[in-house]
């Protein structure tokens, strides 16, 4: 008795692909600078036991040749749409450029963390690396190592990174921290974090 193989229709395959993409827990962060520092995109996927970088991009301008904000924003939002990521965090710089591109590609735009929220996201990211719960490429790990916690004269901490000519401003790390912030808000923290941080508003347990 012979079996007959029936090729699935393109519509069935397309629907299965949409369902598969919808089940993935993807978030993203961007850090943009078009003249002096670099532009960075990081997309992460939330698993039960880890956070994994599934796509990233980093580009720096040549001397005297700034990057095109519209082109970069459109490229980044296209990459999000291609993998099925529907949310991205961006800081206030060039936010309107990102907003226009995000709207065109059906991506939700949220604010990247600032102040204590950014510090919490940074501590969470560092915790993931030490707990081996963050899968990141070596280049992003290099950027992450550049970020420093600076003690403020009036108390508390600030998150900073030194600038490096032609290599950005730890931009991939800041994009990663933004993505981790959104992921923790949407999908929760992986594992437990008990780091005590003293800020200008008092002490809290990150995150």
pLDDT higher than 90, residue 58: yes
Q: How far apart are CA 70 and CA 153, in angstroms?
A: 39
Mean of the per-residue pLDDT values for the chain? Answer: 80
Residue 129 burial by Cβ neighbours in a 10 Å radius (0-12, 13-18, 19+):
middle
| pTM of the shown model | 0.79
Q: How far is CA 84 from CA 43, 137, 179, in A?
A: 10, 21, 15
Query: What 3-state DSSP class applies to 163?
Result: coil
Q: Which of 23-32, 114-123, 190-199 has the lowest mean pLDDT?
A: 190-199
Domain positions in the chain:
11-205
Positive or negative: CA dihedral 158, 162, 28, 125: negative
Q: What is the pLDDT of residues 14-52, one digit of tens each?
A: 454 455 556 799 999 999 887 777 899 999 999 999 999
Percent of the chain with pLDDT over 90: 41
Q: How far apart are CA 86 and CA 106, in angstroms?
A: 7
Q: What is the pLDDT of residues 135-185, one digit of tens each?
A: 999 999 988 888 777 666 766 666 666 655 445 568 899 999 999 999 999
- Domain 11-205 grouped into CATH 3.40.47.10: no
Q: How far apart are CA 183 and CA 20, in angstroms?
A: 19
CA angle centred on 187, ends 186 and 188, rounded to 5° = 105
């Amino acid at each position: 008795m012979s079996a007959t193989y029936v090729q699935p229709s393109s519509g069935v395959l397309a629907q299965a692909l949409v369902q598969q993409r919808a089940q993935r827990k993807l978030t993203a962060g961007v850090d943009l600078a078009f003249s002096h520092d670099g532009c960075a995109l990081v997309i992460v996927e939330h698993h039960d036991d880890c956070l994994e970088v599934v796509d990233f991009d980093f580009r720096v301008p040549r001397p005297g040749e700034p990057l095109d904000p519209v082109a970069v924003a459109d490229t980044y939002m296209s990459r999000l749409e291609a993998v099925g990521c529907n949310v991205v965090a961006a800081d206030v710089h060039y936010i309107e450029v990102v907003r226009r591109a995000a709207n065109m590609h059906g991506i939700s735009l949220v604010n990247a963390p600032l102040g204590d929220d950014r510090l919490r996201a940074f501590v969470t990211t560092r915790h993931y690396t030490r707990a081996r719960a963050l899968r990141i490429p070596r280049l992003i790990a290099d950027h992450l190592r550049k970020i420093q916690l600076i003690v403020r004269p009036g108390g508390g901490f600030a998150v900073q990174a030194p600038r490096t000519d032609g290599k950005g401003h730890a931009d991939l790390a800041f994009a990663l921290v933004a993505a981790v912030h959104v992921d923790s808000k949407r999908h929760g923290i992986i594992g437990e974090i008990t780091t005590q941080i003293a800020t200008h508003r008092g002490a809290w347990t990150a995150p």
